[in-house]
Amino acid sequence: MLQANIYIELPGEEVTRPTTRWERIQSKLGAKIDMGTGVKRLTLNPLETWQALCTGLGTAHLTDAVWLIVNDKVLYLDEEGRPQDLDHAWVAESPLGSADFRELHLALTHEALGVEAMVLVDIRTPVPVGTEEMRVRVSARISNLRIRPGESAADYVQRVRAFAAKKPIIEAHRVQIREFARSLGQCLADAFGDATFRLDEARVRVQRLQLEQFAHFRELSFGDQFSQRVYRPAPKVARHAVYDDPFVYLWWDPYADLLHWVLLDAMVHRVAWRSEHVEVVDPGGTLVCRGDQVPEHAQVLEPVVELAYLDEHGKLAVSRSVPQPTFTGDPISGHSEGRARRPRGR
């Protein structure tokens, strides 16, 4: 829902190529030969890279690791939600050498000031010259917008609409994520020595749901039948993500799509969040329009939000035009590597 990206150029050097026989002759005659390949590789070995990364994350008080993947191999997976486990994520006896190191993917969680964040760190080497080796994606949800035990559909919709009507609140959360990302970027850049970083402007993302997501509204229960979200990290699926929201690969929250429907309805019908910093996207993250462009896209958005509604009894209902879902429950349950799913109350 709240997102910011950090890009960090790490210490590296351009990979050179062997000279040809003709180039060696030209060099002896005084010609200057360009030996560059247009590709650069990290000058740090994998362990040094990890140690610098941990230093920067520790300075930023990010120590709750969820998974660590190196070269498509899962080295660490926290299935229990253990706190402050970053130091345990690296496998010290890993035989990985500098020449074999291609990529590292680390996921962490962080909670502060009413916001729950996932931080995804991706490091790749080699990369084209001029390209940052590290990308850090901060994705956050507002804790107060999660459905509460015992809450009816009508009560939840009313509460979210009231939140959406207060523009300064969402803007304050957006600025909160922007400053968090700026501080994190500086901590990481400092940990890697002469590294430089840049930021994308933080933004709020609201999904334009698809028919499949509306179909699952029929499975939702409210009041005493409230369903807790389920903690089940799925790192291998996340590596080939089709959902823009990384929380999908950490938590199974049956009500997450409902939140996006209520927010988009508020943007279309209640003039909420008409800002250039708000984006309407499809589930894969493709931009549909900015918040300040909603009036121009109303003919496209309005039929979507009208696929669900509250009936005369205040119960959530779905249009008959929405087909039955192609599966039930967790959208990635078949990809969670057979691990037991645990309800979590946090």
Please compute, for residue 164, the number of CA atoms within 13 A of its CA located in the half-sphere on the CB side. 28
Each residue's pLDDT tens digit, 95-140: 555 568 899 999 999 999 899 999 999 999 999 998 999 999 999 9
DSSP 8-class letter at 327: S
Each residue's pLDDT tens digit, 223-266: 999 999 999 998 977 777 678 889 999 999 999 999 999 999 99
- Residues comprising the chain, all counted: 346
In a domain, 61, yes or no: yes
Residues 6+ apart with CB under 8 A from 185: 6, 8, 136, 197, 198, 199
**Residue 327 scores a pLDDT above 90:** no
In a domain, 29, yes or no: no
In a domain, 22, yes or no: no
Instruction: Output the DSSP codes for 221-261.
Output: --GGG----EE---HHHHTT--SS-GGGGTEE-TTHHHHHH
Spell 267-299 as b/e; 16+ CB within 10 A means b. Answer: bbeeebbebebbbbbebeeeebbbbebbeeeee
Q: Which domain holds residue 77?
A: 2-14+35-333
**Residue 94 scores a pLDDT above 90:** no
Instruction: Report the pLDDT averaged over residues 52-63.
Output: 96
pLDDT at 334: 56
DSSP 8-class letter at 35: -
Look up residue 116 and give its two tokens: 């729950």
In a domain, 178, yes or no: yes
pLDDT at 14: 79
* Burial class (CB within 10 angstroms; exposed 0-12, middle 13-18, buried 19+) of 321: exposed
Residue 341's pLDDT band, with cuts at 50, 70 and 90, is: very low
Residue 16's pLDDT band, with cuts at 50, 70 and 90, is: low
Instruction: Report the pLDDT averaged over residues 76-105.
Output: 80
Residue 343's pLDDT band, with cuts at 50, 70 and 90, is: very low
Helix (H, G, I), strand (E, B) or coil at 44: coil
Distance CA 9, CA 29 (A): 37
Instruction: Report the pLDDT averaged over residues 63-69.
Output: 94
Who wins on pLDDT, 342 or 71? 71
Residues 6+ apart with CB under 8 A from 167: 272, 273, 275
Average pLDDT of every residue of the chain: 89
In a domain, 21, yes or no: no
- Residue 54's H or E segment, with its range, is helix 46-59
Distance CA 321, CA 215 (A): 10
Order of strands across the sheet that contains 342-343: 251-252, 230-231, 342-343
Instruction: Report the pLDDT averaged over residues 282-308.
Output: 95
pLDDT at 187: 97
- Residue 203's H or E segment, with its range, is strand 203-207
Is beta strand 127-128 parallel, antiparallel or unpaired with respect to 36-42? antiparallel
Residue 119 pairs in a beta bridge with 108, 138
In a domain, 27, yes or no: no
Q: How many CB atoms lie within 10 A of CB 177?
A: 21
Residues 6+ apart with CB under 8 A from 343: 228, 229, 230, 231
pLDDT at 335: 43
pLDDT at 35: 66
Helical residues (DSSP H) of 60-166, grouped into ranges: 153-164
pLDDT at 15: 77
Q: Which residue's entry shows tokens 């946090």?
A: 346
Who wins on pLDDT, 30 or 226? 226
Domain count, the chain: 1
Distance CA 324, CA 214 (A): 9
In a domain, 345, yes or no: no
pLDDT at 244: 87
pLDDT at 336: 36
pLDDT at 92: 53
